Structure 1
Amino acid sequence: MEIDTLARAIAEGDRRALARAITLVESGREDHRAKAVALLEALKGTGREALRIGLSGTPGVGKSSFIEAFGLMLTEKGLKVAVLAVDPSSARTGGSILGDKTRMERLSRSPAAFIRPSPAQRQLGGVARRTREAVALCEAAGFDVVLIETVGVGQSETAVAEMSDLFVLLLAPAGGDELQGVKRGIMEMADLILVNKADGALEAAAVRTCADYAGALRLLRKRPEDPEGFPKALTVSAHTGAGLAEAWAEMQALADWRRAQGHFEARRAAQAASWFAAEVREGLLARLTRDPETRARMTEMTERVRAGEMTPEGAAAEILAEL
């Protein structure tokens, strides 16, 4: 399909064209990359804007269940919802399960929803390398809300905050102890902390956990882009739907306040600049590996490092000096 034809189909909301475009931007082939850049440039003028919500959480916290319940609630309100789910890739084989559509069976059948799983591959930060471009494509296709689900929580799983308007951290009841090591990396970036599974026998534990995190949030330094009371912690239940409407109301209130204060556009501008710098770095590394002379020199220096003839630092310094 020609780029102009594909761009028109995406702008008209064609889901098959959107899926094809995301496959194109995720491709590592050089000719596909050129087409992907042309497609993104062609769609830049649509002027459409979705609310980008990043979502992270510990494994087993119920991210997929929450997204399905939350997404169904939004579609019932007449909103179009796109879900970009990033699956962890095997360090041995490089493969990913990509099973999020089966986890979100009801949401995947909704005509107002679009679910796209993508492999993380070797990308750190909990997102795939081209997730930001997939977000831009979903916006151009007319989706109102884009949910970006990361592979899981950790010190490096904060890259999603660099491509979203709101960053939501999903926690399980009584899960504080195992999160001590990641609090500083994640909690400082979270706009909203949602304690899931607040139903049945776990409801009391969820309320206590929510109170604990609300207290911890008060100890963090207030950010200039937050109104009074944010970030805040709430309880939700993906099983019963309790708290989902309240969480959505808080997200809307925060987004509206940031728009009114000018923080929303400033945040997006800073994110665009950050991803521009990242794209330049990735492009430079790709060019180095494609150049035959540099590749041969890298192989030679690698063998010298393996043999103990040079330190890794010395070999790297010599390669960089030659460049």
Structure 2
Amino acid sequence: MKQSTTFEPPPISEATASLEAGVLAGKRRALAKAITLIENTRADRRAEANGLVSRILPHTGKAIRVGISGVPGVGKSTFIEALGLFLVKTGLKVAVLAVDPSSRISGGSILGDKVRMEYLARETNAFIRPSPSAGTLGGVARRTRESMLLCEAAGYDVILIETVGVGQSEIAVSEMVDFFLVLLLPNAGDEIQGIKKGIIEMADGLVVHKADSGNEDQATQAQRHYRNAVNLVRAKRKDWRAPVLRASSTEGHGIDKVWDMVSRHRRLLCERNQLESMRSAQMQRWFQTALEEELLDRFHEDPRIRERLADLQARMRARRLSPHHAAEHLVDLFLS
């Protein structure tokens, strides 16, 4: 039989269609349930989730997407709450996708961001969704992209994505946002050595956080150090060199300047017609990631692979078979 050259997403159930209607109407409960659906790993639920995301895609793309990263203890949640409250007061709707690190031992995560952002959580125009990273590299949950699109379809103007922390693999978050912001500690010294060159290169803006009263000198010195560091690395864009600002979330200083920086960057992208081309490139990278994940899922779900895997692992432990040889055997089996 000749296969059709066109492809349409499979139809979704009435329950999922109801979720779609609720998301498009801006209902937070429907949005929360829709994100729960796309985070489900069951094969039948994945099909429903993929159908839902395909259907809401035409209603996405208008929000400002901001990724926020920083070393543990820099105050990401405190900063995001302060920024979120500032944006809500200006009349914007804000969604926060906060990724909690999952334990490699138990697989569990704390998921306590609604507790840490208690004031923002009370705002009717704010939505906070913690999700486990589940070991995903890049400090983002596996379905963060889909969650972001659902929030956009629900009418949120700004999407803030909080990542686990700073690391070489964390540049993954910069491939799904319009603006990648890195928070820094005010005591520059050895801390500057802990920030990877790759993170500095990928940052669209840097903020020396916790620049509180009594900390001004340290924060100013740190700002100077980081500005020098930015000047020593290749700029992410020819027409934009990452600014280095100071801010204090507890005292409310500098939050407006941070948003002004993000807004200026957004205007620049739009004026030069670069936003859509950037998002198109991000969609292609998303497709590549999704393709790899789908292949791995199907590989591990294959009963022949599961049946053979234990024997091969035993042989490797006994030093009778190399990992590459075992992998080659499983791939041949999968493709047969």
Q: State the alpha-carbon separation in 2 of the partners of residues 48 and 274 from structure 1.
A: 16
Q: Contact 1:155–1:182 (CA<8 Å) still a contact in 2?
A: no
Q: State the alpha-carbon separation in 1 of the partners of residues 140 and 60 from structure 2.
A: 25
AA of the residue aligned to 1:316: A
2:310 equivalent to 1:319: no
- 2:162 corresponds, among 149, 167, 173, to 149
- 1:260 corresponds, among 244, 258, 271, to 271
Which residue is 1:278 aligned to?
289
Which residue is 1:94 aligned to?
107
Q: State the alpha-carbon separation in 2 of the partners of residues 307 and 179 from structure 1.
A: 45
Q: CA deviation at 1:292?
A: 1.1
Q: Contact 1:83–1:116 (CA<8 Å) still a contact in 2?
A: yes
Q: CA deviation at 1:176?
A: 4.6
Alignment gaps of 5+ in structure 2: 1-13
Which residue is 1:198 aligned to?
211
Q: CA deviation at 1:264?
A: 1.4
Q: CA deviation at 1:183?
A: 2.0
- 1:297 corresponds, among 308, 312, 319, to 308
Which residue is 1:130 aligned to?
143
Q: Contact 1:156–1:185 (CA<8 Å) still a contact in 2?
A: no
Calculate the TM-score normalised by the size of structure 2. Answer: 0.92
Q: State the alpha-carbon separation in 1 of the partners of residues 330 and 314 from structure 2.
A: 14
| Structure 2 residue matching 1:201: 3-state secondary structure | coil
Q: Deviations over 1:172-207 (max 9, x none)?
A: 111451442442121110000000111112121011
Q: State the alpha-carbon separation in 1 of the partners of residues 212 and 45 from structure 2.
A: 48
2:40 equivalent to 1:50: no
| Structure 1 residue matching 2:168: 3-state secondary structure | coil
Superposed counterparts of 1:77-88, under 5 Å? 77-88=90-101
Q: Deviations over 1:124-153 (max 9, x none)?
A: 110000011000000000000000000111
AA of the residue aligned to 1:194: V
Q: Percent identity at matched positions?
A: 48
Q: CA deviation at 1:48?
A: 4.8
Which residue is 2:19 aligned to?
6
Superposed counterparts of 1:158-173, under 5 Å? 158-173=171-186
Alignment gaps of 5+ in structure 1: none
Q: Contact 1:172–1:195 (CA<8 Å) still a contact in 2?
A: yes
Moved over 4 A (4+): none
| Structure 2 residue matching 1:86: 3-state secondary structure | strand
2:239 equivalent to 1:227: yes
2:60 equivalent to 1:59: no
Number of equivalences: 321
